Amino acid sequence: MTRPLLSRPDDGPTHSADWWRHAVVYQVYPRSFADGNGDGEGDLTGIIGHLDHLARLGVDAVWISPWYPSPLHDGGYDVADYCAIDPRFGTLHQADDLIGLAHDLGLRVIIDLVPNHCSIEHPLFRRALAAGPGSSERDLFVFRDGRGADGAEPPNNWPAHFGGSAWERVVGPDGVPEQWYLHLFTPEQPDWNWSSPAVAEMFDDILRFWFDRGVDGFRIDVADACAKDMTLPDLPDDAGSGMSGLDKFPGHPYFDRPELERIQRRWRAIGDSYADTPQGPRIFVSEAYLGPTPRLAAFTAPGRLHATFNFDALLTEWTYSSQRAMIEATLAGYGAVGAPCTWVLGNHDQPRVVTRYGRRVTGSPYTSAGLGRPSPAGPGADLALGRRRARAATLLELALPGGVYLYQGDELGLPEVDLPPEVLQDPIWERSGHTRKGRDGCRVPLPWSGTRPPYGFSPEDATDSPWLPQPGDWAGLTVTAQEDDPDSFLTLWRTALRIRRQHAALGDGRLRWDPDAPDGVLGFRRDPGFACWTAFDTGPIDLPVGARVLLASTPLTGGKLGPDQTVWLAR
């Protein structure tokens, strides 16, 4: 099943045991990547058929968002079977092929683990419902009697992240309401009870199932939430809405609980037990919107998880002082525990980076950074400005020490799409009472080729249109259109990744701030012989004497650095 990793000609780092410290990881959102069978939804045939895009781009790994059987109440993050592939995406056999092909191309494969909750269609949840109150089946989840005389009130005041209460009342087969169950997300996503040893053991088996098939690592969904205070105390009235950074106060009943450490160490031990296989130990990267930095960095202390998404990078406004402070805090926080930094500008939960950076307000405070922030699409975003800044930010993050996570389509500079309400599928739209459009605007199927929808996303003879409509003006954004254009986003990414892969100074390591950088220019040096300068609202600026330009985010005017530009220099 597991094929040996072949070397790429210019390779080396991808196959070292610490590849994860500096990897550039490409996120595939399967439903929107490429549709092989013409039903309007992406699938494994589509991913397999376009793996060469990732290899040509020059990334080190692919992270595939959930591909498991799911009724898709939350885009696949409602898992009905952790050890199978959703038939609409393909088969387990194809997953094996995909993993093998990726390895042949020199790409590591990370998949998604969703340990906080499953789907109401998971057989164990169905069994728990049928087994009734007090049963061992119900102990795998968090069932409780309601409050009030007839139990009609939820057991406590916890809110669900997408709106409403975190509790749903079960109605028995006789139509009589009985217990409630906990769901931190939608009612279709019941939370597992991680204080049950059976739950922990089941996830051990899930990890081994995929590691044995050759998967190189897992991205851990909502990694700060599995453990709960099982006395289920009410939240204080001023606790905020939950899924938002600093609302997660120390001692919170379900975020960043001390019990998490034991779970993380357990997973790490399983990953480490693969040390003697050709791929080496398997890795874990956590997803958690948790601040401040040292708190999240603790997840990556020795013996715990390998890395964690640095959402500060994604949320910080595009100004000199904010970016510099964010980078310093990140380097200090992760440096203190010996973990690599990661740099993240986008994912399937956040508005597209070119649109965010085209707005007047480019950042988002951690306290309101929850999932499904109001979509910034629509009038008001200056996309030309957003693209210029996103290009500058791309070179900045690729020059920083550590790894980079790239969301599909960001290598094409895709903007957020302002979708009409009738096509929206994100549960946030309904559960917010139609006040928040949610995350569909960054999940629109990718444009590969051609001049009109489906832009090569589906085959010519497709029976259905893409599951979310693509805009009519994306002809210039397709992979084919950008391929041979020296000024395109795609060319910038390919060139940057080629240089990054070859340059000894880039990837993991250290930086020192460049004393020669003028005011308002974020400049740092990395050894041997590399400097990165980013200008925010200053310029034109003379480059240091004797420096040779390796790459500029947009063409330099008169050889000088202008506002919202990054340049890589050999010094």
Residues that bind ligand GLC (CB under 6 A): 74-75, 77, 114, 185, 221-222, 287, 348-349, 371
In 3D space, the residue among 67, 196, 66 whose CA is nearest the CA of residue 124 turns out to be 196
Query: Would you say 306 or 348 has its CB closer to ligand GLC?
Result: 348
Residue 420 neighbours by CB distance under 10 Å: 8
Residue nearest ligand GLC, CB atom distance? 77
> Please, what is the minimum distance in Å from the beta carbon of residue 76 to ligand GLC?
8
> Please, what is the minimum distance in Å from the beta carbon of residue 110 to ligand GLC?
14
> Please, what is the minimum distance in Å from the beta carbon of residue 184 to ligand GLC?
8
Query: Would you say 86 or 564 has its CB closer to ligand GLC?
Result: 86
Buried b (16+ CB within 10 A) or exposed e, 155-176: bbbbbbbbbbbbbbbbeeeeee
Spatial strand order of the sheet with 521-526 comes to 512-513, 521-526, 530-535, 565-570, 548-552
The Cα–Cα gap between 432 and 450 comes to 37
Query: Would you say 98 or 288 has its CB closer to ligand GLC?
Result: 288
> Please, what is the minimum distance in Å from the beta carbon of residue 222 to ligand GLC?
5
Query: Would you say 43 or 221 has its CB closer to ligand GLC?
Result: 221
The string of DSSP codes covering 56-120 is: HHT-SEEEE---S----TTTT-S-S-TTS--TTT--HHHHHHHHHHHHHTT-EEEEEE--SB--T
Any residues with CB less than 8 A from the CB of 270 and at least 6 apart, and which?
204, 207, 208, 211, 282
The Cα–Cα gap between 415 and 142 comes to 40
> Please, what is the minimum distance in Å from the beta carbon of residue 428 to ligand GLC?
9
CB 568 within 8 A of CB 549: yes
Where are the extended beta strands (E) located within 330-408? 342-344, 403-407
Residue with tokens 């597209």: 352
The Cα–Cα gap between 49 and 350 comes to 27
> Please, what is the minimum distance in Å from the beta carbon of residue 324 to ligand GLC?
28
Query: Would you say 54 or 222 has its CB closer to ligand GLC?
Result: 222
Query: Would you say 349 or 410 has its CB closer to ligand GLC?
Result: 349
CB 385 within 8 A of CB 257: no
> Please, what is the minimum distance in Å from the beta carbon of residue 189 to ligand GLC?
7
Tell me the backbone φ, ψ of residue 430, rounded to 5 degrees.
-70, -45
Query: Would you say 77 or 82 has its CB closer to ligand GLC?
Result: 77
Query: Would you say 161 or 501 has its CB closer to ligand GLC?
Result: 161
Query: Would you say 31 or 391 has its CB closer to ligand GLC?
Result: 31
Single-letter code of the amino acid located at 362: T
> Please, what is the minimum distance in Å from the beta carbon of residue 114 to ligand GLC?
6
Any residues with CB less than 8 A from the CB of 81 and at least 6 apart, and which?
68, 69, 122, 123
> Please, what is the minimum distance in Å from the beta carbon of residue 289 to ligand GLC?
8
Distance from the first to the final alpha carbon of the chain: 47
CB 444 within 8 A of CB 469: yes
> Please, what is the minimum distance in Å from the beta carbon of residue 371 to ligand GLC?
6
Query: Would you say 427 or 456 has its CB closer to ligand GLC?
Result: 427
Q: Helix (H, G, I), strand (E, B), or coil: what is residue 165? A: strand
Query: Would you say 43 or 349 has its CB closer to ligand GLC?
Result: 349
Buried b (16+ CB within 10 A) or exposed e, 382-398: ebebbbbbbbbbbbbbb
> Please, what is the minimum distance in Å from the beta carbon of residue 215 to ligand GLC?
18
The Cα–Cα gap between 325 and 365 comes to 14
In 3D space, the residue among 446, 376, 371 whose CA is nearest the CA of residue 407 turns out to be 446
